[in-house]
Structure 1
């Protein structure tokens, strides 16, 4: 049988590419297996465990840097661009001229877990809507994480700068839809696109970074948990994880079944409401200042998504009714009205109290991509608005608010 040189060359190139793909897939699979086995060890994340991790885990997809390299690329930590619970972020530059963000982890027992989580999760995956970890430093107590640089900062900072409700005016509704869909795609990949399911546990605007074109990238995997698809829930040690106002109720209410990928769905719904400015309207919403003590008054109060839900129903049943400052669906343009209504419906589905009532992120992506908004079913009223029977409503709402820090709004407002 005769083969032309072109055919032979094509087969060789194809075989090489296939072999390379299989090798990379095997590396990622083995890395995930190593990490899963390693994380079953319930010991603390102190110095010894971090060193053990570094000895047994190596990723060919990230680069190890010395502390002197880190100092050089950040010009001795000259330009600080952010600060979080676990460390400070500095702007840096690699020898090839690429800009980077370098997070220096503070010396504490907690940063050992964050360091391992970051390196072993985003260090072995790559997705357009997930921040890319380019390298790390683990030299004694000096630990650093090197990420791609995001010139437009975080979505949280942008929301604060634009005062939420004007965000649609500065970016436009179509761009906001692209951002929201990008975030949804990223979370969907974590839940369904990896060998093991990754639960982020801290989805919020400040953990969404924006590139040159305002493309969103999910960041900060310090609280992340990696678990098998066969498991319906994941066990959390050390108490509730997440940020007040975005924590799913099952994380602090054990009778709801425990944390799962649906916990990220809940946080995504709260993020959507934040983008729309429906979590921070001071004239309508009262935030709980101290989640450890009761701050609600004796007046009857309802969980604020109930207020959003009622306004949505009003606008559905009375499309010509002008709600003035209380409207929640944009009316300036057709795109704005369609997209903002879609955001609200999706958000209300995501924040259903019971995890099994929430959609998967795959379903969320489908709803956000739907052209016909009217075809998206309006969800049930958020359960927090209707406490179980034989439970005092004020006490119930107070306990929910105190545990999660979720805003509440008076019925009379």
Structure 2
């Protein structure tokens, strides 16, 4: 796609057309000459993501086609500009709905049936990446802000700059020495050792599933006057038999207890500390849609995400570090950590 068309569509990247800003850079709404709406991601000079991530996203997503993945329409790159052009999704990202303080105005959109549909859509999208596409892909940065919603609130997974292709059909373990992703969603083996696999994505999916149920960010839940991670809070309520108390208050009583409990159960199974006992995405889908499938009991999840004296989850961390200390639940920003030699 040529630069002139993109500039014309976005009003030369006008502030009025700016939709938001992510780890890659700002995102703009645009209208092509034929009337089609587009979303344009513009690489920021301040972004930790660079030419390699840009190329990775272009090469990967152009080869992936699924109704629950965002569609890349085109791209432009020269020395000064790097632009990704996507289909425009009017409801923006899932996090804007889940974590909006004034949820009441959107309560009809985020009903239980809508949330359940979003959970199943994300599951199918991740299953496609892990098992059903020609490329076996580990996303490595699945989170609420990377799930976009179309006009019917159907979810589409986005942002493939950190994704990796697995040559091994099993989606086996890899160790890059680099830790990339978002604290709060990272599996412990990935956050602490840089070891990732499809089961790392399963952990991120489990965190996201618990966020959809509760309407709370991981790392923003208060229980008994102690600041704890969402995972720990979910586990506490589960073993105490108070699963209903975990659900988003904006749902009231209008949700299926059985469906919600099953989703809750699956979420806890996905965030197990040992990656070998986490289910695959194909098993996750089967567990979510089968009313009669008996689910194994979850074990106590890892507590490495417990908050200590750290900035609030909304405060960005932008520096690259060389620390191997256990990470904290900061989940609004993509972090890259370089392992020391």
Q: Does 1:126 align with 2:65?
A: yes
Which residue in the other structure is 2:35 paired with? 97
Tell me which of 247, 267, 292 is aligned to 2:204. 267
Partner of 2:320 in structure 1? Answer: none
Q: Is the 8 A contact 1:66 1:138 kept in 2?
A: no
Shift of 1:372: 4.2
Q: CA deviation at 1:340?
A: 1.8
Q: 2:286 aligns with which of 363, 366, 380?
A: 366
The match for 2:329 is 405
Structure 1 residue 286, shift from structure 2 partner: 5.4
Separation in 1 of the partners of 2:54 and 2:226? 36
2:266 maps to which residue?
346
Question: Alignment partner for residue 298 of structure 2, among 355, 369, 379?
Answer: 379
* 1: CA distance, partners of 2:234 / 2:5: 51
- How has the CA–CA distance of structure 1 residues 383 and 206 changed in structure 2, closer, same or farther, with 3 Å as cutoff? closer
Q: Is the 8 A contact 1:247 1:263 kept in 2?
A: yes
Equivalent residue for 1:332? 253
| Correspondence 1:66 to 2:2 | yes
* Structure-2 residue corresponding to 1:179: 118
Q: Which residue of 2 aligns with 1:219?
A: 158
Partner in structure 2 of residue 243 of structure 1: 182
- Report the alpha carbon displacement of residue 181 of structure 1 after superposing the two structures with TM: 0.5
Shift, 1:69, TM fit? 2.0
3-state SS in 2 of match to 1:282: strand
Whether 2:212 is the aligned partner of 1:282: answer no
Q: Deviation of residue 111 (structure 1)? A: 1.8
Q: Deviations over 1:82-116 (max 9, x none)?
A: 11122111111122211000111124683202211
- Taking structure 2 as the reference length, the TM-score comes to 0.80
Query: Which one is further off, 150-159 or 77-86?
Result: 77-86
The question of 1:158 aligning with 2:94 is answered no
Contact 1:80/1:88 (8 A) holds in 2: yes
Give the distance between the partners of 1:351 and 1:128, measured in 2 at CA. Answer: 26
- Given the superposition, is the C-alpha separation of residues 283 and 307 from structure 1 closer, same or farther in structure 2, using an over 3 Å criterion? closer
The gaps in structure 2 that reach 5 residues or longer are: 309-322, 332-341
1:400–1:355 distance in 2 versus 1, CA, 3 Å: farther
**Any idea what the Cα deviations from partners look like across 1:168-224, whole Å, max 9, x if unmatched?**
765221221110100010011011122221111110000000000000000011111
In structure 2, distance between residues paired with 1:171 and 1:109: 33
Change (3 A) 1:165 1:352: farther
Q: Quick one: distance in 1 between partners of 2:30 and 2:119?
A: 28
* SS state at 1:382 partner: coil
Counterpart CA distance in 1 for 2:230 and 2:260 is 18
Matched residue count: 305
Cα deviation digits, residues 270-296 of structure 1 (max 9, x gap): 111111235333355755xxxxxxxxx
Q: Which has the higher strand share?
A: 2
> Which residue matches 2:314?
none
Q: Which structure has the greater CA radius of gyration?
A: 1
* Structure 1 residues 243 and 132, CA gap change in structure 2 (3 angstroms): same
Distance of aligned partners of 1:271 and 1:327 in 2 relative to their CA distance in 1, 3 Å threshold: closer
The aligned counterpart of 2:238 is 312
Per-residue displacement from partner, 1:297-338 (whole Å, max 9, x unpaired)? xxxxx865344224223328xx9xxx8xx45598825x4312
Going by fraction, where is helix more abundant, 1 or 2?
1
Asked if structure 2 preserves the Cα contact closer than 8 Å seen for 1:202 and 1:242, the reply is: yes
Matched residue of 1:101: which SS? strand
